[in-house]
Amino acid sequence: MSTISSTAGADSAHSQQARPLTGQDYKTLALAALGGALEFYDFIIFVFFATVIGQLFFPPSVPDWLRQLQTFGIFAAGYLARPLGGIIMAHFGDLLGRKKMFTLSILLMSVPTLLMGLLPTYHAIGLLAPVALLLLRVMQGAAVGGEVPGAWVFVSEHVPARRTGYACGTLTAGLTAGILLGSLVATGVNTIFTPAELVDWGWRMPFLLGGVFGIGSMYLRRWLHETPVFAELQKRKALAAEMPLKTVVRDHRGAVAVSMLLTWMLSAGIVVVILMTPTFLQKIYGFDARTALVANSVATLCLTVGCVVAGLMADKVGPRVTLFAGGLLLAISSYVFYSTLHTRPDLLIPLYAVAGFFVGTIGAVPYVLVKAFPAQVRFSGLSFSYNLSYAIFGGLTPMIVTLMLKNDPLAPAYYVVALCLLGMATALFVKDRSLA
């Protein structure tokens, strides 16, 4: 009975489903998306300097492929740390409020990023250098584990339920804009500094800049308000009666399974096509760093647009059709991209742009995730499913693809296509439900 009454209370927060988006809705979306972009920049800037970091933080005697694998391993550690941070912040987000955890995650992200820019290298302190880098990366992972699910829950509970797709797609576009910002900063750094200057001290600048971005994000989120859905639950004393995660694991296993599989497809698109491909373009296809990063910036801009389009489509035709069609188009465009570059390097930017746009299909994934769980345990359910999946699949993806590349240069294409097929199959089991 308590669950029924609690759900009814949450429903009342969205009783006027037909209302249009207001100026306050747009302000909330803009501030959340901008803050998310700045914080996500902090999390991903590491990967754009993976080659330089590998040279500076590991012994020079290590083979190049092993150094790259170890560097991506430290990058992956951030994903492995996400579930712990996400579960803890989601627990308190379901009990104390979405906004408090939404703001705390920024501080936990910006400090490690700043410290990364100040770290001594292997030449100065030996093996302590990669160990310190690993610890800071783990701290970043714990922070982003609360940030991304919290952001999706926050915006979806502020807008009318019929605009949930647009809200989630816009927020996801904001997060991917953080990747674009990272790509642009990396492009600028590689343009301004010579290779020697970059290795000497230039690589530190993007991390130090990330600390400044963190302060900016904290300031932006001072202007946000608690979500109407949580405020209504709090008012009616209808918050979770037991540990939220316990309820999720006991009562919502099907939702957890679907959410994890869709997150796996999401992670393949982001990690392989967007984050790892600049390195592939240099190592496998022979492009210089600046060309690879410029192409990546174009693809990421297209990804940002694609996220909004996917969110709008989820509102109009439903998430099942959007994810199935988008997954198919992503599989085709990714395979064409990776298989064509050796013979037609002149097509790098247009092919990468198309693949990037269809990676934007992931903008429809949070629509499914926020609607998969009731309001009392929404933050915990989404955070547990998303972060556990990203820890397992997103965290292992860089190492799996790197190992596969030793035998086949088309490994990235095969991996993305396989995950798109899995996502398409999972989309068939998606059930649309009202935001409750």
CATH number of the domain that residue 276 is part of: 1.20.1250.20
pTM of the model: 0.79
Whether residue 17 is contained in a domain is answered as no
Q: How close are the terminal C-alpha atoms of the chain, in Å? A: 15
What lies within 8 Å, CB to CB, of 99 at 6+ separation is 154, 221, 224, 225, 226, 227
Query: Is residue 10 in a domain?
Result: no
- By the 10 Å C-beta count (0-12 exposed, 13-18 middle, 19+ buried), 15 is classed as exposed
**Is 1 among the domain residues?**
no
Task: Tell me the percentage of the chain whose pLDDT exceeds 70.
Answer: 86
pLDDT at 93: 63
pLDDT at position 187 is: 83
Residue 15 lies in a domain: no
105, 39 Cβ separation under 8 angstroms: yes
Q: Compute the distance between CA of residue 172 and CA of residue 60 in angstroms, rounded to an integer.
A: 39
Q: Does 108 score more than 90 pLDDT?
A: no
pLDDT in tens, 215-262: 777 777 677 665 555 555 555 544 554 577 788 888 888 899 999 999
The pLDDT, as a whole number, for residue 98 is 60
Q: Which token pair is 418?
A: 């396989």
Please, which pLDDT band fits residue 97 given cuts at 50, 70 and 90? low
Can you tell me the mean pLDDT for 263-268?
92
pLDDT-based confidence at residue 369 (cuts at 50, 70, 90): very high
Query: In this structure, how many other beta carbons lie within 10 angstroms of the beta carbon of residue 184?
Result: 18
How many Å apart are CA 231 and CA 237, to the nearest integer? 10
Angle between helices 395-405 and 64-80 (to 10 degrees): 160
Report the C-alpha gap between 333 and 429 in whole angstroms: 24
Query: Between these two residues, 109 and 341, which has the higher pLDDT value?
Result: 341
pLDDT digits (tens, 9 = 90+) for 46-85: 878 888 888 888 888 777 778 777 887 887 777 777 787 7
| pLDDT tens-digit readout, 4-13 | 344 444 444 4
What is the domain range of residue 343?
Answer: 23-227+242-427
Phi-psi sector, 120: left (phi>0), alpha (psi -120 to 50), beta: beta
DSSP code of residue 374? -
pLDDT at residue 12 in the model: 44
Q: Does 237 reside within a domain?
A: no
Task: Return the pLDDT at 429.
Answer: 87
- Residue 403: what pLDDT? 87
Mean predicted lDDT score pLDDT of the chain: 83
Quick: pLDDT tens for 115-172.
999 999 888 888 898 899 899 988 888 888 877 888 888 888 778 888 889 999 999 9
Q: Is residue 415 part of a domain?
A: yes
Looking at per-residue confidence, does 217 or 363 come out higher?
363
CA angle 100, 101, 104 (to 5 degrees): 90
Work out the burial of residue 408: count CB atoms within 10 Å of its CB; fewer than 13 is exposed, 13-18 middle, 19 or more buried: exposed
The alpha-carbon radius of gyration of the chain (Å, integer) is 21
Which DSSP category does 346 fall into?
G
pLDDT of residue 2: 40
Q: How far apart are CA 302 and CA 304, in angstroms?
A: 5
Query: Where residue 212 falls among pLDDT bands split at 50, 70, 90?
Result: confident
Domains identified in the chain, total number:
1
List pLDDT tens digits, range 375-419: 778 888 888 898 888 888 877 888 889 889 888 889 999 999 999
Structure confidence at residue 5 (pLDDT) = 40
Residues 348-358: what's their mean pLDDT?
96
